[in-house]
Chain A
Amino acid sequence: MPQTIKDRTAIVGIAQTRFGKGLEDSELSLACQAIAAALDDAGIAPQEVDGLVAFSMEDGREVEVARNLGLGGVTFFGQVGYGGGAGCGTVGHAALAVASGQCEVAVAWRARKRADKGSRPWAQTASRIDTPWQWSRPWGLLRPVDEIAMLTRRYMHQYGATRDHLANVAIAFRKHANRNPLATMHEKPLTREQYMSARWVSEPLCLFDNCLETDGALAVVIVSAERARDLRQPPVYIHSYAQGIPPQHQTMTAYFGEDPLEGPSHTCAKRLWANSDIRPGDIKVAQIYDAFSPLIPLSLEGYGFCKRGEGAAYTENGALEWPHGRLPTNTAGGGMSEAYVHGFNLIVEGVRQMRGTSTSQVDGATSCLVTSGEGVPTSALVLRS
């Protein structure tokens, strides 16, 4: 039996910049500000950082980040791909590197400027493509929302899910954002009537099934469990971590395999729980990647909170809502109502829950599932206090 990284590393620093639209700072600047603040939170000097893990889509590369922050020698660096699927992966790679002695203080982060319409990747599609997108975009399936809407319609057809179920997701996360003063949608309640009368974006998905578009950055600091005991903040242990590419997967347009609704979360979950002493039934709070509302039922199924086809019904009776739901989810508002920074805000909120500092703190929660994007090669973490 190989030795796993279970509880051998911890997140000891977290930080975020302000979230907004049209922020003046570059992505590199935002990244450096978030990392500097996370190191402050941990009480660790930048000169001690010797590990860096970035998103492959990040503008500010490791070498730029190291130079700006005045890091000493960096002995481990790398990137994780696939956009929203990468977040927990960057933390996991950092944990692997620390646990195996490749570095001692690792930082993972995400900085993004998405609020500017021109910055949206789909709007920059070339007129001629030889990538796998040639099998979807020519017919007008142009945006991530179209790609996920296709899976959603099939899911609704196959399992009887309804728009009311998707509204359950959007409304739960908005309620949490309304409790979080730093959330983009802090002051904007969302009613079921507003949801049902919102404009379509890609039927069956409406405006409120979509995440926000946000400028901002977040960062976390990872060290060994031994080092974590002597630092400023209570350690939040990385109990388990996994990534997932399911068989015959195609990023975002996974319509071509045997069973397109058995997505990346199913593959990721097998390894995540195999390496975990904590079971889905032990988890009292979750941060689940929500670029689009239907990813929640799909992920609830993938990570074993219910059976295939039961994810939509799981959302009924306020199940995702703080404080009385059976699984309060995205307790800071998530990508749909706090900020959309490729899901990195979900990791930071998972840490706050384990520290006991969330604005929607779940009583008695000693572990938290955090997931990255469903529909793309993905990753997930089980954190514990």
Chain B
Amino acid sequence: MAASGFVLPGLEDPAARPFWAGTSRGELLIQTCADCGTMRMPPRPMCFACRSIHVSWTKASGRGRVWSFVVSHPPLLPAYAEFAPYNVIVVELEENPTLRLVGNLVESADGPINAVDPATIQIGEPVRVVFAQIEDVALPRWVRADGAG
């Protein structure tokens, strides 16, 4: 598999592995306490509400809103500099607005991370998850909720 130059998850963190397995199937999974039902993000070994280490995974609707965003300019790692300036967003999930994920706002699942005009990005705008395949990882990214994706 050709190296993309992107920084990617190692897929060896036991707490995170089911999340990344989910994205590979096109599912956005939220780690959920099997005992008390508290959802948490990012994944980690223990439930902060009840100290349980038993987990289940809830399939998210894949809908959320932009919580914040940046537009990154060089100097950057070469694989990213190629796309600069590009946006990075934080999305709050529909299931619970304190569940947030970092992502990019894109025009389509496999589109570049600099396709959306940064001047048009709005905090609070609705977005929908898509998955971009990079090497052996499916990275969740986001399109505008009314977009074709």
**Residues of A that sit less than 8 Å from B by CB:** 117, 123, 125-130, 132-143, 146, 149-151, 153-154, 157, 199-204, 248, 250, 253, 255-258
**10 examples of A-B residue contacts, CB within 8 angstroms:** A123-B77, A129-B8, A130-B11, A141-B72, A141-B102, A142-B72, A151-B68, A203-B73, A255-B100, A257-B98
The answer for the CA separation of A133 and B71 in the assembled complex, in Å, is 19
The answer for the CA separation of A257 and B97 in the assembled complex, in Å, is 10
In the complex, are the beta carbons of A200 and B71 less than 8 A apart? yes
Partner of A140, one of B3, B48, B80: B80
**Residues of B that sit less than 8 Å from A by CB:** 3, 5-13, 16, 41-42, 48, 67-73, 75-77, 80, 83, 85-86, 88, 90, 98-104, 113, 118, 123, 134, 137, 139, 141
The answer for the CA separation of A146 and B10 in the assembled complex, in Å, is 22
In the complex, are the beta carbons of A134 and B67 less than 8 A apart? no
In the complex, are the beta carbons of A140 and B123 less than 8 A apart? no
In the complex, are the beta carbons of A135 and B86 less than 8 A apart? no
Partner of B10, one of A134, A139, A153, A257: A134
Q: Which residues of A contact B41 (CB under 8 A)?
A: 256
Instruction: Please give the distance in Å from B81's CB to the nearest CB on chain A.
Output: 10
The answer for the CA separation of A255 and B6 in the assembled complex, in Å, is 22
Q: Is the interface of A mostly helix, strand, loop or mixed?
A: mixed
The answer for the CA separation of A126 and B3 in the assembled complex, in Å, is 12
Q: Which residues of B contact A149 (CB under 8 A)?
A: 70
Instruction: Please give the distance in Å from A176's CB to the nearest CB on chain B.
Output: 28
In the complex, are the beta carbons of A139 and B69 less than 8 A apart? no
- For B77, the closest partner residue in chain A by CB is A142
The answer for the CA separation of A142 and B16 in the assembled complex, in Å, is 20
In the complex, are the beta carbons of A201 and B9 less than 8 A apart? no
In the complex, are the beta carbons of B104 and A139 less than 8 A apart? yes
In the complex, are the beta carbons of B98 and A142 less than 8 A apart? no
In the complex, are the beta carbons of A137 and B98 less than 8 A apart? no
In the complex, are the beta carbons of B70 and A203 less than 8 A apart? yes
The answer for the CA separation of A253 and B88 in the assembled complex, in Å, is 13
Given known pairs A135-B102, A141-B102, the reply for A200 and B73 (CB within 8 Å) is yes
Instruction: Please give the distance in Å from B69's CB to the nearest CB on chain A.
Output: 6
The answer for the CA separation of A250 and B100 in the assembled complex, in Å, is 13
In the complex, are the beta carbons of A146 and B100 less than 8 A apart? no
